[in-house]
Structure formats: C-alpha cells, structure tokens
Amino acid sequence: MSTPADHLWMHFSRMAGADKAPVIVRGEGAYIWDDRGKRYLDGLAGLFVNQLGHGRTDLAAVAAEQASTLAYFPLWSYAHPSARELAEKVASLAPGDLDHVFFTSGGGEAVESAWKLAKNYFRLTGKPQKHKVISRAIAYHGTTHGALSITGLPALKQMFEPLVPSTFRVPSTNIYRAPLHGDDPEAFGRWAADQIEVAIEQEGPDTVAAVFLEPVQNAGGCFPPPPGYFQRVREICDRHDVLLVSDEVICAFGRLGTMFGAERYGYQPDIITCAKGLTSGYAPLGAMIASARLFEPFREPGAMFAHGYTFGGHPVATAVGLKNLQIFEQEGVLEHVRANEAGFRATLERLSDLPIVGDVRGDGYFYGLELVKDKATKETFDDAESERLLRGFLSTALFDAGLYCRADDRGDPVIQLSPPLICDQSHFDEIEQVLRGVLTEAWSRL
Ligand SMILES: Cc1ncc(COP(=O)(O)O)c(C=O)c1O
C-alpha cells in the first residue's frame, strides 16, 4: 500500500528516504511545529519568504475575503482592483522612475520576464543585437531555462544543457576569498565592478542587453557589495547602454532594512525583480518592476509585451501583497529591522571564536557563516568532508536542536540565516546558542 509520502516529488531534494522528511504542520510568529508537536525557530523565514512571521490571521482573512469576492481573473487585457492597487503601491515604493509593475507567480518568472523585456526593449529602440546577459559566478536566479542560464551554478545546469545561449559570468563580491585587493574593500569593489566592463567589452557592447545582480548575493553565503561597487557598475552600464537588473527576490521587502536592496546601497536599477517577501508567503507572487524609459515603447498604439502567466498577479496574491505592505507601514517593520540589525550582527559575530567559523557576513536580517577547516589559511573542506559535514551532520543536527536554517555548499560551505523580520534579540540569542552547540560538536567530529 502506498502512502502520501510515496507521491510527493520534493524540490531540490534527494528522494531516497524522502518518507523520513520532516513534516511541518503549523507556524506562529517566528516558530514552526512539526507533526510530532516539536517546535523550531524558523531561521530562514521558510525560504527567505516569511517576513511578517507565521500565523497572521489578518493576512489569511484578506485572502479569504478576496477569494470569496473574485477568486481568479487574468491580467490578459483585463484588470482587477487589487492588482492595480498593489502595482501603484509597489511603484510608489520602488526607487527612482521604476513605475511599471509586471506581476508573475514567483521569482524565476520575474527574472525570465526581465530578460525578455530587455531584449524586447532594445529591439523596439533600434538596437536589436543587444540580447546577451552578464551575471555573477555562484549566483542563483531561478530554474526556468532562461533564469537557469543566468544562474552561475554549473552543478545545477549540467543536466539541462544546452541552455539558452548568450549568458556570461563575472566574479562575485566575495572579499573573504578575493583573488586580489582582499584587504582593501574599495579597491576590491572597483576591481569586481570592472570585471563587468571587461565582459561587456569582450562580448561587444552592441550585443549586451543586461547585467543581473543581487544587492547581496545569496548563493555562496551572503556577499554584500563592497563600498562603491554598485555606483561603478551603474556608470559602466550607462557607458555601454546595458540595463542594470537588481534581482531582489530575496533582498526586497525589508530583508536588508529597506523596502528594496538598491535603496540600502544607493544605486538606481533599470529593473527590479522580486517575489518571496512581497506577500510574506501568504500567497505566491512575484514582480518585475520596470523603469519609465523601458515602458515607453510599449505605450505606442499597437505595441505589446507578448508575455504573461495565468497566475501572474492572481487576485488573492495581490490582495495579500497589498495588506502585507500596509502592515509593514503600520507596524514599522523596516524600522524594527534597522533598530535590531546591529544586534543580529553582533550576536552572530560572537560565533567567530569557534575554530570552524571562518567568516560572518551579511547585512540586515540576512547572514551567512562560512565554515572552514583552518581559520588561519582559510582552507575549506573537500567534497567528501563537505558532504559529511553539511548533509551528514549539520542540517539534521541543527534541526534536531530546534533551529530551521540552511547548511549549503553551492559555493564554499555556509550556514544561511534569514529569520522573519519580526525577530528580536531573544531570537538571535536562541540562534547563537543552537549554532554554538552544534558547530562545536561538528568540529569535534572532524
Ligand atoms: C535571487 C533569486 N532570484 C530568483 C529566484 C527564483 O525564485 P523562485 O524560486 O520564486 O522562482 C530566487 C529563489 O530563491 C532567488 O534567490
């Protein structure tokens, strides 16, 4: 006899033994519970999603009300009120002249939409050769063919080759492992930005449409930009008429203490892609926010962006998104993050006394702890050790100790932390306590 566990194909999961996967049944505030009644601190906000925490009945009520009034209607030649209102709200919050909001069902679709818009825009404005994309090594931008092509993680791509041609990688802003200028953040930032110009020139500026960058790169374990990096990238993009796409699927909606990551680091993108925290996870929704300049050719009579998704801008999701952003304002969520982020950093930095913690990096409520074999030399673990450490021990041990977070080795081994934005010092202390115990044990097992 089969069981429900025999039929669910989980995402990015080894399916052998999947019947033993933890089953999460309930959430309240910063905590989740499994089907055995055990409580865990949600140190990852689900998957960088649950900004306002779990169990908010006000968001659930808005979803129920919208579903009863109008559960579904497409945005294909028709509009509905909550999509319009949320678009207006998002446009009012987005930096500079980013004023047109194209809804999707999630982040990968937003990235996909941004690349298609970049190509379409240049075709309509007399530069049809501009179609290539530059992105960073190790960066994750989604799994659809276009978004996966932009993704810089070879291990996620090789099974699906050939992918969409015309994407190129430049180095990330990993200053901990900087090939040069590791002791001078500004010089490192200039160097890292200049690699984008080198790539544009190598490919031919007439052929490059866009650069896709996260404000803080997640995969690899939280690489914030060095000072001046984005300002220089902006100059380079302007010089070569290349669009700067800020992929904020994780970094928007308070994760860095600002509504958008670009705001935190003071740069102006041409497009922002976002999702996750837009609804705090109470409904699935993503968006591509485009500048007035990019929208302009589509104002022409007869012009159309021939692109869309059945569920993009779903009425329930947009109603929830609107309520979510209202709560951000009513409850001062951004102010809360800004008031507490120094405490989060200081608490995590206490873990630097452990021999296995090589680097603690991040901003806002978004951090990565890089684990090393030798702190002095920064020697990392080989594949077998990483497998034993991360998958064989850490992921389960952290969870068993009551902390849901992520041990990841898409780049060097890291622990990723991205708690709900409602968390305060008591939660940070709990995170530190669990990590200290489990990492100490991991070290003793090496
Ligand atoms: C930066 C970034 N872009 C795109 C995506 C893809 O989003 P989704 O999983 O909603 O398609 C993610 C997902 O984590 C992401 O972190």
CATH number at residue 27: 3.90.1150.10
**Overall average pLDDT of the 21-49 stretch:** 98
Give, for ligand 1, the residue of 44, 140, 408 to mutate: max count of ligand atoms closer than 8 Å to Cβ.
140
CB of 216 within 6 A of ligand 1: the answer is no
Minimum CA distance residue for ligand 1 atom 3: 141
CB of 152 within 6 A of ligand 1: the answer is no
Minimum CA distance residue for ligand 1 atom 11: 108
Task: Report how far apart, in Å, the C-alpha atoms of 77 and of each of 74, 103, 167, 304, 308 are.
Answer: 8, 14, 32, 11, 11
SS3 assignment, position 309? coil
pLDDT at 4 over 90: no
One domain, residues 308 and 416: no
The contacts of residue 409 (CB under 8 Å, 6+ apart) are: 386, 387, 390
Q: How many domains does the chain have?
A: 2
What is d(CA 195, CA 199) in angstroms, rounded to the nearest whole number? Answer: 6
Whole-model pTM: value is 0.98
CB of 247 within 6 A of ligand 1: the answer is yes
User: Of ligand 1's atoms, which has the minimum distance to the CA of residue 219?
Assistant: 16
What is d(CA 317, CA 284) in angstroms, rounded to the nearest whole number? Answer: 6
What is d(CA 424, CA 29) in angstroms, rounded to the nearest whole number? Answer: 11
One domain, residues 225 and 336: no
CB of 410 within 6 A of ligand 1: the answer is no
Give, for ligand 1, the residue of 250, 273, 274 to mutate: max count of ligand atoms closer than 8 Å to Cβ.
250
pLDDT tens column, 317-375: 999 999 999 999 999 999 999 999 999 999 999 999 999 999 999 999 999 999 999 99
**From the CB of residue 249, how many other CB atoms can be counted at a distance below 10 Å?**
28
Q: What residues form DSSP beta bridges with 403?
A: 41
Please give the span between the terminal C-alpha atoms of the chain, in angstroms, as a whole number: 42
Provide the CATH number for the domain around residue 161.
Answer: 3.40.640.10
pLDDT band at 145 (very low <50, low <70, confident <90, very high): very high
pLDDT tens column, 170-203: 999 999 999 999 999 999 999 999 999 999 999 9
Q: Which range marks the domain in which residue 399 is found?
A: 4-55+332-445
One domain, residues 48 and 70: no
**From the CB of residue 398, how many other CB atoms can be counted at a distance below 10 Å?**
24
